[in-house]
Amino acid sequence: MLYDNILRAKNKGFIISNLNKRIIFLDRDGVINHDYGYVSQIEKFQFIDGVFDACKYFLDLGYEIIVITNQSGIGRGYFSKNDFQDLTNWMINEFKKNNINILKVYHCPHTPDENCDCRKPKIGMIQQSLNDFNIDLQNSWLIGDKKSDIETAINANILNKILISQDKNNSEFPNIASNLIDTINIIKN
């Protein structure tokens, strides 16, 4: 039905804006919060400075935000899915307090040994987001702090990717930023 309406509008000469969402895919640990290893408790979750400002800027540019995160601590028995969900709900509410809507949080609960389809660098979480939303991957970005995050972008044909790293001399990745706020200079160009 929607597709038919779009075709009719095009045939009548109306300009149709792109219905697909432009997304900033963010890894969680090391990008949104400090990664102390298997972060699963609110009292141990510490936002990285500038995260809210960066996310507001992304929204102002017309992007929406999706979080994709490997959480093998669930599969290893370090914390439960309920613990993860409680922390995620708290995190989303902290973003909301800062007038930032997180479109969705996808997570992989599996250990690397389970060889699932969702653990980065595989693209299961990206595929799920494509099933849930109309996403323009060509004009979206993936930002992560590990090589597996960047490999996920490559595997999913996301052209725009940024590695969060203190090693600016890493010639393997053309887009490197020290933290999320520093990614703004890359994305706005």
Catalytic site residues?
Answer: 27, 29
Nearest to 21 by CA among 124, 101, 123: 101
- Intra-chain end-to-end CA distance of the chain, in Å: 37
Whole-number Å distance between alpha carbons of 25 and 153: 9
Whole-number Å distance between alpha carbons of 17 and 57: 21
Beta-bridge partner residues of 176: 163
Whole-number Å distance between alpha carbons of 54 and 44: 22
Nearest to 161 by CA among 26, 66, 50: 26
Whole-number Å distance between alpha carbons of 104 and 139: 18
108, 125 in Cβ contact below 8 A? yes
